[in-house]
Amino acid sequence: MTVPPGAYFALSAVLFTLGVTGVLVRRNALVIFMSIELMLNSVNLTFVAFARQLGRIEGQVTVFFVMVIAAVEVVVGLAIIIAIFRTRDTVDIDDVDLLRG
């Protein structure tokens, strides 16, 4: 392993930060959702890098479960976005403020 594990961790940290930025700054619900996927993937990268560094397979098993849950999350989340679009005709989350005081 000529690439040091720290390089993978640093890349993962930057990707996670990009995902956080997208969630905080963008207002299109679909793009926010993709940013969440970005964060999930950066965490997966950390898991796999640690699995490689420690020589243990459990990290990769965890990534498997994260992928399963991410697939479910995407399906349910996109269904919710479609439902919101049907009733309010927008995917801009600033327009969805029924719970605002």
Partner 1 sequence: MELVLFALAALGALAGGVGVIASRLPVRSALALLLVLGSLSVLYLLLAAQFIAALQVIIYAGAIVVLFLFVIMLLHARSGETRPEKLRGQRQAAYLLVAVFLAAIVAVVVTRPSAQTAGLPEGFGSAQVVGASLFTGYVLPFELASIVLLVGIVAAVVIGAPAGGTR
By CB under 8 A, what part of segment 5-44 binds partner 1?
5-11, 13-22, 24-28, 30-31, 33-35, 37-38, 41, 44
| Alpha carbon 85 to its chain's center | 22
CA distance 42 to 60: 14
Smallest distance, Å, CB 43 to partner 1?
A: 11
Smallest distance, Å, CB 101 to partner 1?
A: 13
Residue 88 touching partner 1 (CB under 8 A): no
- Both tokens of 42, joined, read 């950066």
User: x/- binding map, residues 41-70, to partner 1, per CB under 8 A?
Assistant: x--xx--xx-xxxxxxxx-xx-xxx-xxxx
Nearest to 42 by CA among 9, 69, 85: 9
